[in-house]
Amino acid sequence: MVLVVWLLVGRNIYSVFFIGVFATLFASISGKTAAFSMLITDAFQHVLPKRRDKYGKEFHHDPMHKWFMLFILVTPLVWSVPGMPDFATGLALCVAFQLGVDLFSL
């Protein structure tokens, strides 16, 4: 099968592959951004019912929703900038923070 694709597409197979990877990752990032920001906004509106009364049930009317979307889109760029902490360091910090939160909530 790989040989057939190579014969049909030739050297452009690498470009087609990377376009497919980019499209898949972009679809995943945009979907997660929309879903997580709605989830966080809904949680805040349940904790603070005055917010739901003020902005209504539509999440995109709440300014907090836009800020969470921006935060979720921008924070992954930390790992793409040269000289920034790598994934393992970020993971260790997040786990340490979570353990600290769990200990203080007892």
Q: Where are the domains of the chain?
A: 2-104
Total-model pTM = 0.54
Per-residue pLDDT of the chain (106 residues; tens, 9 = 90+): 667 767 777 777 777 777 877 777 777 777 888 888 888 888 888 888 898 888 888 888 889 889 998 888 887 777 667 777 777 777 788 888 888 766 666 5
Distance CA 57, CA 23 (A): 31
Q: What is the pLDDT of residue 104?
A: 67
Distance CA 73, CA 83 (A): 20
Q: What is the pLDDT of residue 1?
A: 62
Q: Look up residue 106 and give its DSSP letter.
A: -
DSSP 49-67: HHHHHHH-S-GGGSHHHHH
